[in-house]
Structure 1
Amino acid sequence: MNNKLKALSLACLVTAGFGVASVAQAHPRWVLPSHFTVSKEGGDWLSFDVTASHGTFVYDKPASIETTQVVMPDGRITYPNFTIRGKRRAIFDFFFEEEGTHKVQINQIPRYYTFYKVGRRDTEKRMEANKADRVTILPEKSRDVVTQVSYTRAESYVTVGKPSTKAMELTGKYLEMVPVTHPSDIVEGEPVTFQFFFNGKPQAGVTADITREGTLYRNHQEQIDVVSDKDGKITFTPEVAGRYLMKSKYKGMVENDPMYDRANVNVHLTFETLLQ
C-alpha cells in the first residue's frame, strides 16, 4: 500500500473513531460525594458516585474512573479505594482523615480532532488527530483545517475540620476553576465567586450553568446562567440550600500551540450550599 492510500485508510479509521468518542462524551460527567465535610474524630469513609448524564444528579451512563485522583491538603496526589463500575454509574470510596480541604478530580485524557473541507462541494470532514499528526494523514488539497482539543474536568471538594486552599492550586493546563469563595463557606442567599483560568491565565467568556438537585420534582430547572468577566470571575447567589452541579465551558481559538488551534474545554463541579 502506498503512502497516500495508507493516509486515506488511517483518515477513515480515525473518522470512524471520532463517532465513537463523540457518543462517549455526549453526556456531561460529574462526581458526587456522599458528604462534603467530615467532622468525625479520626476521619471517615466517603462514597462517590460518578456518571455521565444530562440530568442533575440523575444516573445514566457509567463514566470512567481510572483517572480519579484525590489532591490532599498538602498538595500531594493519592488515589481512591474500592472502585466499582455498574451499569449506570461507577462508585469509589476514600477514607478522609487529614485535616484540610481535599480536591477530588476525574480529569479526562485530552482528545484532538481535526476538521477540514475537501472536494468541489467543500464537504466537511473530521478525524482524530492533533496538529503534529494531521500533516501525514490529511487528504491532499484539504482546506479550512482546524484542530481542536477536547478536555473535561469533573471535580468536587471535601473538607476535614479546618478548611485550606493548597489543593486548589492551578496546574496551568486547559480550563481550571479556583473557588474564590471557599466551598465550605457557600451559604444560601449569599453571593459566591469562582474564577476561571485557561492555560494558567484568567479567562473571560467562560459560560457556566448552575443547577440545584431535585429537578425531577419541580416544574422549572431554576438554572443560574453566568459568563466570566475579564478577570475570569463569575458571581452568583444560590437562594436555596442543597447540592449543586455547575457545568462550565470555554470554546475559543488558541495561538501558537503545537498541538491544537482551538479549545473546547469544560469544568464540571459539584458543591454544597449550606443553610443560613
Structure 2
Amino acid sequence: MRIQKTVIALALAGAAFGAQAHKPWVLPSSTFVENDREAWVTVDAAISEGLFDIDHVPLKLDGLTIIGPDGATLEPQNVANGKLRNSFDVKMAKNGTYKIALVNQNVFASYKVNGEMKRWRGLEANMAKEVPADAQELKVTRTSSRIETFVTANEPSDGVLKPTGSGLELVPVTNPTELRAGEKATWRFLLDGKPAANLPFSLIPGGVRYRGTLNEVRFNTDAKGEITFKIPAAGMYVATASWPAPQAQGSQGGQQQQPPARRVTYSGTVEVLPE
C-alpha cells in the first residue's frame, strides 16, 4: 500500500501546482531584449514553495535545449550550479524569438520480487535490464514533462513556436513575448501533435509571498485545443497543464485512485508587459 501511494505521488508530482506544492520553474531576466550590439538573458532554474522564490532546491538542467530563431541549437553560457538555484546565460546573437526548454521522460515502476515490494525510476531504455523479467504485480507509469520559456532579441519571430509533436506543448498563436495586460492572446495546446481538446490549464502570477494569495486563473481549451483570453495584469506568470487532468477526490466512488499509465505535464513562464 505504501509503495503504491508513493508511485501515485511521483506520477502526479509534475502536475501539482497548488498553493502548498513545490513548483519547478525557469525564469528569464527578461523576455524581450532590445540591444543594438549583444543581447543576453540570464535564466534561473529552481524548485520552490513560492512561485519564483528561491527557497528550496535547484532545478536540474538535464534535458536543457536552447533553440534559436533559425532553428539552430545553442549552448548555455556561464552555467552556475547553486545550493538553491541553477542559472545560465543565453547569448542571442541573431534577432528573433528563442525557446529555452527542459524536456524529460521517465518511467516509474513498482513490483514484487519473492513477495517483497520494490520500486524503480529511470529511463525507458534501462527498464528491461534493471527491472527483473519475472517481476510480479508490475505497475508502470510513464511520465514526460516540458518546462520552458521564450525570449526575444529585438524582433519577434515564429520559427521556434512550431510544435515538436511529442508530449504536451503550448503552440502560441500570439507570440508569448508580446503579451500585454488587457489585450487578447490566443494559445493552442497540443498533445503529441494533436489538439488537446477541453484541456484545463492555469495561469499563476509571481509575487505570491507579497500578496498572500495564489491568484490562480483557470481556463479550458476548446475542441480545437485553442483559447483566446485576456490577462488582467502585467507581471511574470507560469502556465501549467497536465494530461490526464487530475481527478477530484471522491470521483472514484471511494475507491483508491490508480496511477495513470502515462502522465504528461507542461509548465511555461511568460511575461506580460503593461498596457
Task: Confirm or deny that 1:222 pairs with 2:215.
Answer: yes
The farther-off stretch of 182-191 and 78-87 is 182-191
1:34 is matched with: 29
Count of matched residue pairs? 248
1:51 corresponds to: 46
Query: After the TM superposition, which residues 103-114 of structure 1 pair with which residues of structure 2 at under 5 Å, given as runs?
Result: 103-108=99-104, 110-114=105-109
| Preserved CA contact (<8 Å) 1:103 1:167 | yes
Decide whether aligned partners of structure 1 residues 230 and 146 sit closer, same or farther in structure 2, where only a CA change above 3 A counts: farther
In structure 2, the residue corresponding to 1:167 is in which secondary structure? helix
Larger Rg: 1
Measured after TM superposition, the shift of residue 23 of structure 1 is 11
- 1:71 is aligned, of 60, 67, 73, to 67
- Structure 2: which 5+ runs fail to align? 15-20, 246-259
Deviation of 1:227 after TM superposition, in Å, equals 2.3
Compute the displacement of 1:263 (Å).
2.1
**Could you tell me which residue of structure 2 aligns to residue 204 of structure 1?**
197
Q: Is the 8 A contact 1:99 1:162 kept in 2?
A: yes
Report what 1:6 is aligned to: none
What TM-score do you get using the length of structure 1 for normalisation?
0.78
**Equivalent runs, 1:72-221 vs 2, <5 Å:** 72-108=68-104, 110-114=105-109, 127-128=120-121, 133=128, 136-137=132-133, 139-140=135-136, 142=137, 146-221=139-214
RMSD of aligned alpha carbons: 3.4
Q: Aligned residue for 1:266?
A: 265
In 2: Cα distance, 1:19 partner to 1:202 partner: 27
Matched AA of 2:89:
D
* Cα distance, 1:243 vs structure 2: 1.0
Asked if 2 retains the 8 angstrom alpha-carbon contact of 1:205 and 1:250, the reply is: no
Residues 68 and 107, structure 1, Cα contact 8 Å, conserved in 2: yes
Question: Residue type of the partner of 1:69?
Answer: T
TM-score, structure 2 as length reference:
0.78
Determine what percentage of the aligned residue pairs are the same residue.
Answer: 29
Does 26-35 or 159-168 show the bigger shift?
26-35
Shift in alpha-carbon separation, 1:267–1:20, aligned structure 2, 3 A: closer
